[in-house]
Each structure stands twice: as C-alpha cells, then as structure tokens.
Amino acid sequence: MPVISFEQPDRFVAGVVGEPGDRAFFLQARDGRRVTSVGLEKFQVTLLAERLEELLDEILRRAGGEPQVPAVTPAELRDDGPLDQPVEEEFRVGTMALAWDPEDERVVIEAQEVTDAGDAEPEVGGTDPAVAVLRVRITAAQARAFAERALRVVAAGRPPCPLCGLPLDAVGHVCPRQNGYLG
C-alpha cells in the first residue's frame, strides 16, 4: 500500500459521522480536490490531540518563542465545519507517530494502517510497503487548531456518568459503581 502524503494540506481535521453513542471517528486531509479519510477510535483522537499539544508546548518552551509556535489557536484557523463528503474510509488506523521537523518548522503526523502484526510502534518515515500510511505535514498553528477541534469533537459525545465516568445513554447505563443497576 502507498504512503498517502499531504505536504501542505488545505485542511486537516478530526471529525465524526453519526450521533453520540454511535459515532465513527475520522482523520481527514484535503488538498484541493484530493480528500483522504482514515478511521480511528475515539481514544486515538484524544491521544493525538493531547500529544500534539504537549509537543507544541515543549517546542515553544525550548525555543523561547522561536520557531513560530503559537501558544493558542489562531482565530483564523478555527475549523468547525463538517467533514468533506462523501466520507470514504481509506483504512483503519492502528498506530500513529508525531515528529517536529525543525528545518521547515512543521509537525509531521503519520497514521499507519492497522495490521495483524501487533502494530509495533512505527518510526516516522520508516514504513512497511505493505501497510498504508497517511503522512501529513502541517504548521504549528495548524496543529494547535487540529488539537483544539479534536478535543471539542471528542467532548461533544455522550456525557459521562458522575459515578463511574462511563458514557451515559438516554436511558442511563448499567453502572459498575451501583453493582450493575441502571444508573
């Protein structure tokens, strides 16, 4: 499978299809008319957003303001739009990798297709030719905007149970903190 590369995408977002409790999560990159969507789990979206924030904060701390890493999302980069349609999953994400390229001051995000080999942690740039990879290179400002949106998307799901933290359905849920009774 090929490496699907977006060197300077017009758009890179996390989004969902479906209603809370029955949502499918996607990463979507667009460059002109070319759109690629890959499916992943909710926890992967959360981890990617959190790790991006940590990476950017560390770069900002170490560089003392140089390179150009914004501390917050620039207003002009906020993206609340829906995913580009139709959403057609290229592959399901197994592992992801992040890196900072200091030469052109870009964040490199790689999402590798899930495999049967246990999804060993990939090296950025090092891929098995039989496994599909989405590689996206974005500015630090775009990475801040991505992380902010991704965390909003995740938070827009079902509210958590105040006792156990598991998601509540419209009719409640079987709460382990209430010995299996409907909470």
Integer Cα distance of 115 and 124 in angstroms: 17
CA–CA distance, 155 with 149 (Å, rounded to integer)? 10
Q: What pLDDT score does 20 carry?
A: 80
Average pLDDT of the residues in 122-141: 79
Q: What are the chain's domains?
A: 3-178 (3.30.2450)
Residue 176 has what pLDDT? 78
The reported pLDDT for the residue numbered 130 is 81
Query: In what helix (H) or strand (E) does residue 37 lie, and over which residues does it extend?
Result: strand 34-40
Instruction: Please answer whether residues 157 and 20 qualify as being in contact, where contact means their C-beta atoms are separated by less than 8 angstroms.
Output: yes
Q: Which residue has the higher pLDDT, 125 or 161?
A: 161
SS3 87: coil
pLDDT at 1: 58
pLDDT of residue 49: 97
Q: Which residue has the higher pLDDT, 27 or 175?
A: 27
State the pTM of this model: 0.81
DSSP string, 133-156: EEEEEEEHHHHHHHHHHHHHHHHT
pLDDT at res. 181: 58
